[in-house]
Copies of this chain bind each other. A is one copy, B any other.
């Protein structure tokens, strides 16, 4: 069941070839790369996965291919859509393809708790009994959900089995969700994992984020599970300078794809237009940061 989900869930990149077409072969190598580095599950169709740039047919292809490669690990599909009818259709399609659940963020334009509760009553009425990750990402959606509002949604809709918490600052919000009582859901956190050690201390069930070095996400999670808090910090700090660099919006995604390419996970670092293109200066910044990360990891032993 999704509400017992744990561990390191990867917001997967969508690989494109040098002409901008979906690169299906690179999906296979990418999912293998993620699994090799400890992934416990995947999200496709997310914002940083460039899900919004895909046609319906491409989105289906990407989902199908990820599920095929995922070795049974759960694949969650982002289905947020300004239209509820389209959202319901995308949800049905995702579940037909074998997804473990869908991820839904409220659409831009909801402004009060009433509008929020009304929106989700419509949505959950339409999609039926499907496991849902409720995404709390106001920096992207412009919709702010308070802790009491989220708790009301959880109580009203048993489909919500996970909250993806990426409202910055996240720490108090996590503590209050955990203290809120009611039905237990899993809490995973995004925001590129920038506060992962503290978030684990606040009681989350793992990261749900993208990074060029997914071994950091899974490694920090496993060390924390074993109670080795200082070691988890040590590992996290080795990667933090690069993680921070990859947190620069779509420029960060471009950097991440370039590092994934260098590591052999995908064949091309192409981002579909409209999107940024790295310059020589960015490449030099990445050279330095990656070299320093490798040195720090090696020194840690």
Contact = CB atoms under 8 A, between A and B. Distances in A.
Interface residues of A, number: 60
Interface stretch (A25-33, A68-76, A138-146): A138-146
A181 to B, nearest CB: 17
Given A274-B118, A281-B202, A113 B113 contact: yes
Number of copies: 4
Interface stretch (A49-57, A127-135, A153-161, A210-218): A49-57
Contact of A168 (B118, B202, B248): B248
Interface in A16-56: 52-56
**Which 4 residue pairs across A and B have the least CB separation, nearest first?**
A112-B146, A111-B144, A169-B248, A169-B251
A245 B197 CA distance: 11
A201 B84 contact: no
B84 A273 contact: yes
A86 interface: yes
A229 B285 CA distance: 11
B53 A56 contact: no
Interface string A84-98: 111001000000000
Contacts of A146: 112-115
A274 B144 contact: no
A262 B56 CA distance: 39
A82 interface: yes
A225 interface: no
A288 interface: yes
A272 interface: yes
Interface stretch (A5-13, A182-190, A233-241): A233-241
B244 A52 contact: no
Contacts of A272: 85
A228 interface: no
A148 B112 CA distance: 10
